[in-house]
Structure 1
């Protein structure tokens, strides 16, 4: 409103000056004659000067209103464009604004877009760094727990197992105490297997720049020294992405851990071969197995194995027969010539 009043006053003064100049230049009269003309000439009982001033004021008011309305429309349009920069993060040049205004808002949009991208990149990098720190701490904690369990509980279970074996051998055959001792010895031996499976699961799945075959060989060699059943393996070197190797190593680790805890097997065979452009990882045992149609497959701890196989674009096949054993087979297509640094595959 203040802007409109100011414009009206300015235009009234401007037009009054223009009318005065017009009369002075184009009508050849003296000042006295001008006074008589403006004051004595009447129309509808009003002097000519009053009509002129009223007309000038009305015209000025109309023009000022139009200018104010047009200015507000432009301001609202520009405000909407600026709001789009914030809410929709977009800017489209418009013919309703002049070239300079379009250019200025376009420059502002480019600056804001660059800042948004920069902040987004910084945020992503910070989150990735935090995730990396968290993963490192998780690995360190798992290593610490594995060492403490191995140095304390595992050693105590081993000592208890040896002591029970010695007591059982000294017990008289057929005595009342022989059967409970054998049961306790069996429980302790099962606890040892559970502990070894837990230690295997806690062990960080890291190849340390080794090939998958080499990493599996070290894992199986270490496991053979700690378990009583027979472990056979055949491992071939092949060209796989880093992410695929990491997931296959974890699949083998989890499958062997499940075998230790549940299978009650006497033989385990691990196979890693390449056939028809497929990497094939197979873990087979002769344990108790399970019925695949009774809904207990998930409780056997193999659901995570299936999910890992899917994550790297492979397939997982599980075949189990009660009292005969279980086969877990993962097949992964190999893309020749692509020695990948596939760090994009999530490790979990």
Structure 2
């Protein structure tokens, strides 16, 4: 009997040690991600309030000029076009770093906005969000939004897709995110060689006890499914 008790006690102590280590790892990872988000916010505000305002002021001053020579008018138009592109890129960078729409209006609005921004003549992106009448926890909203960003960036950079879709379902016991494309696909067994770099996604999922399932094969597109157990978040 004492031997059985000793084995049970050892197992209990080992389980406690493992759980303690996992808790410490999560705390460290959470601190790293919090620091990253704070830095993104700082840079986003600097782009919007600093560089963005300078570019816009330059554009206004350029508009006050009234060149008479054709070459000068052509140069003014060219500079104005470049400033418009610079302002557009600055706003896009600011949005990607820290979208105010996520903070102010929530995950559904932010995902719909990113779908509008990504859709172009090269790729059509469809978006469906169901069951998000109420706001989610801020950490959870940020994690899901960043995961969407990362997966969409991978689709744009690597998949050669012409169509893609995001589906976010807020169900009773879980949250399900599906991101699919009709691109060139890949072998999931050779994922480390594709350059997709899913480590940041896995890190975020580790914090919110989520899972990632990948379905793909060469020439058949890809489907990424994220599942988050809401009961574990309580």
**Secondary structure of the structure 2 residue equivalent to 1:294:** helix
Aligned partners of 2:215 and 2:223 also within 8 Å: yes
Seen in structure 2, the aligned counterparts of structure 1 residues 337 and 291 have a Cα distance that, compared at 3 Å, is closer
1:137 to partner: Cα distance: 2.5
Q: What count of residue pairs does the alignment treat as equivalent?
A: 166
**CA offset digits 1:62-108 (Å, max 9, x no partner):** xxxxxxxxxxxxxxxxxxxxxxxxxxxxxxxxxxxxxxxxxxxxxxx
Q: 1:244 and 2:149 equivalent?
A: no
Aligned partners of 1:236 and 1:272 also within 8 Å: yes
Q: For 2:168 and 2:85, how far apart are their aligned partners in 1?
A: 33
Seen in structure 2, the aligned counterparts of structure 1 residues 279 and 292 have a Cα distance that, compared at 3 Å, is same
Q: Matches of residues 154-193 of structure 1 in structure 2 within 5 Å?
A: 155=85
**CA offset digits 1:302-348 (Å, max 9, x no partner):** 2211221112221111222111111111111224996xxxxxxxxxx
TM-score (norm: length of structure 2): 0.58
Residue 299 (structure 1) aligns with: 195
Residue 270 (structure 1) aligns with: 166
**CA offset digits 1:106-157 (Å, max 9, x no partner):** xxxxxxxxxxxxxxxxxxxxxxxx9997554323356578998xx759959x
Q: For 2:221 and 2:115, how far apart are their aligned partners in 1?
A: 19
Residue 140 (structure 1) aligns with: 45
Aligned partners of 1:281 and 1:329 also within 8 Å: yes
Q: For 1:217 and 1:336, how far apart are their aligned partners in 2?
A: 27
Seen in structure 2, the aligned counterparts of structure 1 residues 264 and 133 have a Cα distance that, compared at 3 Å, is closer
Q: 1:218 and 2:113 equivalent?
A: yes
Aligned partners of 2:209 and 2:232 also within 8 Å: no
Seen in structure 2, the aligned counterparts of structure 1 residues 134 and 219 have a Cα distance that, compared at 3 Å, is closer
Aligned partners of 1:142 and 1:202 also within 8 Å: no
- Return 5+ residue gaps in structure 2 as ranges: 1-34, 56-80
Q: For 2:189 and 2:202, how far apart are their aligned partners in 1?
A: 17
- Return 5+ residue gaps in structure 1 as ranges: 1-129, 157-194, 339-348
Q: 1:260 and 2:156 equivalent?
A: yes
Seen in structure 2, the aligned counterparts of structure 1 residues 132 and 268 have a Cα distance that, compared at 3 Å, is closer
Q: For 1:236 and 1:294, how far apart are their aligned partners in 2?
A: 33
**Secondary structure of the structure 1 residue equivalent to 2:226:** strand
Seen in structure 2, the aligned counterparts of structure 1 residues 296 and 277 have a Cα distance that, compared at 3 Å, is same
**Secondary structure of the structure 2 residue equivalent to 1:300:** coil
**CA offset digits 1:179-198 (Å, max 9, x no partner):** xxxxxxxxxxxxxxxx9xx9
Q: For 2:126 and 2:38, how far apart are their aligned partners in 1?
A: 37
Seen in structure 2, the aligned counterparts of structure 1 residues 134 and 286 have a Cα distance that, compared at 3 Å, is closer
Seen in structure 2, the aligned counterparts of structure 1 residues 282 and 248 have a Cα distance that, compared at 3 Å, is same
**Secondary structure of the structure 1 residue equivalent to 2:145:** helix
1:292 to partner: Cα distance: 1.7
